[in-house]
Structure 1
Amino acid sequence: MVVVDGPGCGHSFQLSQGVNQIGRADSQNIRLDFGDDTISRFNHAAIAYDAEQNTFYIGHGGKANIVRRNNRPVLSTEEMLPGDIIRVGETTLRFMPFCGEGFSWGDKQNTGNSRELP
């Protein structure tokens, strides 16, 4: 995930296997604490990587401010696609996955070893 517009433009975040929470607090995997107070401190949204499906998903965290994927509100869990634009508050991120069709950390043919996604 890369911040492409708004506070924190240019910062990037590595997603890990399982649930990655988005918020302003130190405990959030994707910490968007660049001065955008419209983002909740905890669990404004979440992105999950499902290793079995080799797929990423986004869901809202039940907060008052809407999370948008490609300019549409995220009202339930949705599959993410490469290049998706995610807007949280006044901050816009672009989703550029390394894992996906043709590559997975668990695929020994692609990695040359059995290293799992951290």
Structure 2
Amino acid sequence: MSGNDKTSWLEGLEHDDDADFDTGVGHDEFTETVQGWGDGAQEGTIGEGKTQLLADEGADKTMIAIGGLGRESLDPHHVTDPVTGWLVVIAGPGTGHAASIGAGMNSVGRSSDERVSLPFGDTLISATDHVRIIYDDETRSFLIVPGTGKNVTRMNGQIVAVPMPLENYTTLQLSKVTRVRFVAFCNTDFDWTDVIDAKPGADG
């Protein structure tokens, strides 16, 4: 996305469902929407209080680092790509299962390579980039954004054709048979920076 053109991502809405989604970066390397991401986040120590892109050498996928966690902190005991919410399948194949939503940009689809994968057999869900969910750690809020898959998502009966706020417990209709409930973990009362930036011995 460049300049003031806020609708350029709508181009290609009718492409083949299973065609490659070419954005110029990998599916797990979205960098265009969350402040604080960019080239400077690829190397060295991550700045305080920001959600940023962190390329782990030798890893297949780009991860997300929160707050002051740098490359030296990449181990199982530190927060990397933390859960900010979930999509819980309430109707259709996969009913009862949940998929985690991370910080920043989340591409939703039935492919196992998607950041939010719903591989339960509903072929009416686009394989890649069916819809996108963004968590913005600065405003502690979620947005839902149309993807580039040819199949549409409805929220409250309305087609998601433009970015819209995504409220806790909203039901999303991904296809004629699959519905999911959005559940937020991060909100105005909690963000991972609260934990990471807290001083030792502080409450919470």
- TM-score (normalizing by structure 1): 0.86
Are 1:114 and 2:200 an aligned pair? no
Indicate the residue corresponding to 1:87 in structure 2: 173
What is the CA distance between 1:31 and its match in structure 2? Answer: 1.1
Counterpart selection for 2:143 from 57, 68, 79: 57
Counterpart selection for 1:71 from 153, 157, 169: 157
What is the CA distance between 1:46 and its match in structure 2? Answer: 0.7
Residues in 2 aligned to 1:39 and 1:86: alpha-carbon distance in whole angstroms: 12
Residues in 2 aligned to 1:2 and 1:63: alpha-carbon distance in whole angstroms: 21
Root mean square deviation, CA, Å: 1.4
Deviations 1:54-100 (A, max 9, x none): 11111111333220112211010111101101111121111110111
Residues in 1 aligned to 2:156 and 2:92: alpha-carbon distance in whole angstroms: 16
Counterpart selection for 2:188 from 93, 101, 107: 101
3-state DSSP class of the match of 1:4? strand
Quick one: higher RCO (CA 8 Å, sep 6+), 1 or 2? 1
The one-letter code sitting in structure 1 at the alignment partner of 2:88 is V
CA contact (8 A) 2:128 2:149 kept: no
Structure number having the greater strand percentage: 1
Indicate the residue corresponding to 2:113 in structure 1: 27
The one-letter code sitting in structure 1 at the alignment partner of 2:197 is S
Q: Could you say which structure has the larger radius of gyration?
A: 2
The one-letter code sitting in structure 2 at the alignment partner of 1:87 is Q
Segments of 5+ residues of structure 2 without an aligned counterpart are 1-86, 199-204
The one-letter code sitting in structure 2 at the alignment partner of 1:31 is S
Aligned identity (percent) is 33
CA contact (8 A) 2:107 2:115 kept: yes
The one-letter code sitting in structure 2 at the alignment partner of 1:35 is G
Aligned residues: 111
Residues in 1 aligned to 2:152 and 2:101: alpha-carbon distance in whole angstroms: 21
Residues in 2 aligned to 1:76 and 1:7: alpha-carbon distance in whole angstroms: 27
CA contact (8 A) 2:99 2:118 kept: no
Residues in 1 aligned to 2:123 and 2:180: alpha-carbon distance in whole angstroms: 16
Deviations 1:7-29 (A, max 9, x none): 10011111111111111112102
Segments of 5+ residues of structure 1 without an aligned counterpart are none
The one-letter code sitting in structure 2 at the alignment partner of 1:94 is R
- TM-score (normalizing by structure 2): 0.52
Structure 1 residue ranges (4+ consecutive) displaced by more than 4 angstroms after TM superposition: none
